[in-house]
């Protein structure tokens, strides 16, 4: 059964209200007797969501968009688009079915609406419009992309969406639950410099007498996106959450935990890793919702947050001294690549970083080949991530499905039962719309005075280039400083920070001076020694990641306005991981691994 609760124009029209009187006034303005209307550029996502635990129940396939940017008129060459820093998904359609419906039926209403809202469409069709919309990109995981594009899935020999090369089938040994070995086939992509696929030649990627390429399902089964003249290669992004985090990095962690063919750790090594992870639970800052669970028991169940936390924050202290040096440096290549082109920022990545990240990701694959580890499709596909950063002028995580996945959780929470799920969703959305609270300029609902203060402070931070305090509180000896994007306290693990002069400080107290000025000094202790956390494959100090030790005995003072970021800090190479040492004790020979919480960097 296929049902719709929204059509795209109804949902997209609601976007206009997000931008208040400025956009509406722009829509009504006249220049040279021509009506100027706002133009919205949107990213679209499609995914199947299993709302109920019973796998036999029909799933909902959601079509959502987020507004990427707004320009003052349809002629975008005349004005610079306003790029939204925070964006909320908007539902444009929901299908309720046990199997994926015919793609043409599924997308017909949305494709027709995009045509009608196209700024370049004929004047007769577009007359009287209040705004125009164009599709910037489609964000989806590999199975959904193959469904929307009508191309081979990741198990196909010609399935790589960005380069032209046939995959190679290989058998790998794996262990099942009964500890018996069994062989299964997987497709590998071994070439690193194959010819790229292009938007212009997309329809030629079909097997013929002259070409063995079987990328397309066939000329009888084409994607409805072709009706929009949409770029069928570059328009579908290499989605980093599923491809890089869950696929490439998550697959590597599974290999370390379970697969003898992928550098599996011994039982004693896995026990050491689990012991460290257990201790590091006590080091989780407030900015992180989840700690990383046991590698030996939960690697197959890791959520995106856990994989990203492990790779970007605690990988070195967890595996240092356990994983072979060559394998440790190999996985650090993935961390290095993300430092070069990652992040949720809508700003262009430098050409140097793009070139270096491409080299690094290819080196990662090449080294896996030397280890005789399988080059899975997602591992190969991750090497194309720099193309995304170049094409869309942003950090690759800004093109992640992360914001959509968080949004889908909303639907799981609102269903009271499995009865009439679409009707329940419709009713809850109508209720939310009816009682909609005031929103910020980018559409975020303001439902508390604290949120309003944070929004104002973020604007001040952007203008001043300094960390601006939102709120200060004290309770039972715990002093808390709330900033727009993090919380600093005088208790571990939320009391380590980095100042602009390079000092890594353990905060012990916050003093307002002079009184009632809202200007604070940080009292704390300075780490006298800073070492590189790693030298290969990159110098960690370049990204403010250090091994610190020798805490100063004398207390010092630092102005809060010179704060650069908050640090994620865990013990490094303890002799006993049974107990967390006290970070505030001077003259203790403990060493600490400390790295910036990236979104808190000024």
pLDDT of residue 23: 39
Domain ranges for the chain, please list them.
Answer: 8-140+401-434, 149-226, 238-398, 449-600
- Cα 88 to the chain's mean position, in Å? 14
pTM of the model: 0.87
Count the neighbouring beta carbons within 10 Å of the beta carbon of residue 105. 11
**Which distant-in-sequence residues (6+ apart) come within 8 Å of 484 by Cβ?**
454, 457, 458, 461, 468, 470
Nearest to 293 by CA among 283, 285, 280: 280
Helix-strand-coil split of the chain, %, nearest 5: 40, 20, 40
d(CA 27, CA 484): 33
DSSP 530: E
Count the neighbouring beta carbons within 10 Å of the beta carbon of residue 550. 16
Nearest to 5 by CA among 61, 47, 49: 61
pLDDT of residue 444: 46
What are the backbone dihedrals phi and psi of residue 190, each rounded to the nearest 5 degrees, phi first? -100, -20
The tokens describing 258, both together, are 């379970």
pLDDT of residue 81: 83
The tokens describing 496, both together, are 């380590």
pLDDT of residue 439: 47
d(CA 585, CA 196): 57
Per-residue burial over 378-413, b = 16 or more CB atoms within 10 Å of its CB, e = otherwise: bbbbbbbbbbbbbbbebbbbbbbbbbbbebbeebee
pLDDT of residue 441: 44
pLDDT of residue 492: 96
293, 314, 316, 320, 573 from 276: Cα distances, Å: 10, 10, 11, 11, 9
Beta bridge partners of residue 592, listed in sequence order: 548, 571
Nearest to 97 by CA among 222, 2, 216, 196: 2
Contact present, 217 and 104 (Cβ < 8 Å): no
pLDDT of residue 273: 97
pLDDT of residue 29: 44
Kindly list the averaged pLDDT for each block of 10 residues, start to end, along the chain of length 602.
Answer: 43 42 40 63 88 66 89 61 79 83 92 87 66 92 94 91 92 57 76 94 88 90 94 95 94 93 92 97 93 95 94 97 95 97 88 96 95 91 95 92 81 69 75 53 49 60 65 89 90 96 95 80 95 95 96 92 94 93 88 95 80
pLDDT of residue 125: 59
């Amino acid at each position: 059964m296929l049902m719709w609760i929204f059509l795209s124009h109804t949902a997209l029209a609601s976007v206009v209200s997000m931008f208040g009187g400025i956009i509406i006034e722009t829509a009504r303005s006249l220049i040279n007797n021509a009506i100027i209307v706002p133009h919205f550029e949107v990213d679209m996502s499609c995914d199947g969501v299993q709302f109920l635990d019973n796998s036999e129940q029909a799933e909902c396939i959601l079509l959502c968009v987020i507004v990427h940017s707004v320009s003052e008129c349809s002629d975008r060459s005349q004005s610079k688009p306003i790029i939204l820093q925070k964006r909320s998904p908007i539902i444009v359609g929901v299908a309720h079915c046990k199997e994926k419906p015919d793609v043409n039926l599924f997308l017909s209403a949305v494709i027709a609406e995009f045509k009608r809202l196209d700024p370049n469409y004929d004047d007769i069709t577009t007359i009287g419009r209040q705004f125009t919309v164009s599709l910037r990109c489609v964000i989806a995981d590999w199975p959904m992309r193959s469904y929307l594009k009508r191309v081979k899935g990741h198990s196909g020999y010609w399935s790589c969406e960005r380069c032209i090369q046939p995959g190679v089938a290989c058998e790998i040994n794996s262990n099942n639950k009964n500890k018996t070995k069994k062989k299964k086939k997987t497709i590998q992509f071994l070439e690193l410099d194959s010819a790229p696929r292009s938007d212009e030649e997309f329809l030629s990627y079909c097997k013929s007498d002259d070409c063995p390429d079987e990328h397309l399902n066939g000329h009888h089964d084409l994607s409805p996106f072709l009706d929009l003249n949409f770029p069928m290669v570059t328009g579908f992004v290499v989605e980093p959450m599923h491809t890089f985090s869950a696929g490439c990095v998550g697959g590597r962690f599974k290999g370390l935990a379970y697969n003898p063919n992928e550098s599996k750790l011994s039982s004693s090594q896995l026990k050491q890793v689990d012991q460290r992870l257990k201790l590091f639970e006590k080091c989780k800052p407030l900015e992180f919702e989840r700690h990383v669970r046991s590698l030996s028991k939960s690697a197959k169940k890791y959520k995106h947050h856990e994989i990203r936390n492990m790779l970007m924050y605690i990988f070195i202290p967890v595996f240092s001294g356990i994983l072979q040096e060559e394998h440790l440096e190999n996985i650090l290549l993935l961390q290095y690549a993300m430092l070069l082109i990652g992040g949720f920022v809508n700003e262009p990545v430098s050409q140097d970083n793009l070139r270096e990240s491409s080299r690094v990701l290819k080196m990662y694959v090449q080294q896996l080949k030397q280890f005789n580890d399988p080059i899975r499709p997602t591992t190969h596909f991750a090497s194309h991530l720099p193309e995304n950063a170049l094409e869309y002028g942003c950090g690759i995580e800004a093109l992640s499905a992360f914001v959509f996945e968080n949004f889908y959780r909303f639907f799981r929470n609102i269903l009271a039962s499995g009865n009439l799920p679409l009707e329940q969703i419709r009713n809850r959305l109508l209720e939310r719309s009816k009682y909609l609270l005031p929103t910020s300029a980018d559409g975020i609902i303001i439902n508390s005075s604290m949120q309003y203060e944070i929004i104002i402070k973020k604007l001040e931070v952007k203008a001043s280039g300094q960390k601006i305090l939102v709120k200060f509180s004290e309770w039972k000896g715990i002093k808390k400083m709330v900033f727009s994007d993090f919380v600093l306290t005088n208790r571990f693990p939320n009391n380590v920070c980095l100042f602009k002069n390079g000092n890594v400080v353990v905060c012990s107290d916050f003093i307002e001076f002079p009184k009632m000025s809202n200007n604070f000094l940080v009292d704390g202790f300075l780490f006298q020694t800073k070492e590189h956390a790693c030298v290969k494959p990159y110098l960690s100090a370049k990204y403010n990641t250090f091994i610190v030790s020798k805490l100063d005995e004398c207390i010092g003072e630092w102005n809060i306005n010179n704060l650069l970021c908050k640090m994620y800090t865990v013990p490094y190479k303890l002799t006993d991981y049974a107990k967390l040492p006290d970070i505030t004790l001077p003259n203790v020979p403990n060493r600490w691994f400390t790295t910036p919480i990236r979104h808190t960097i000024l």
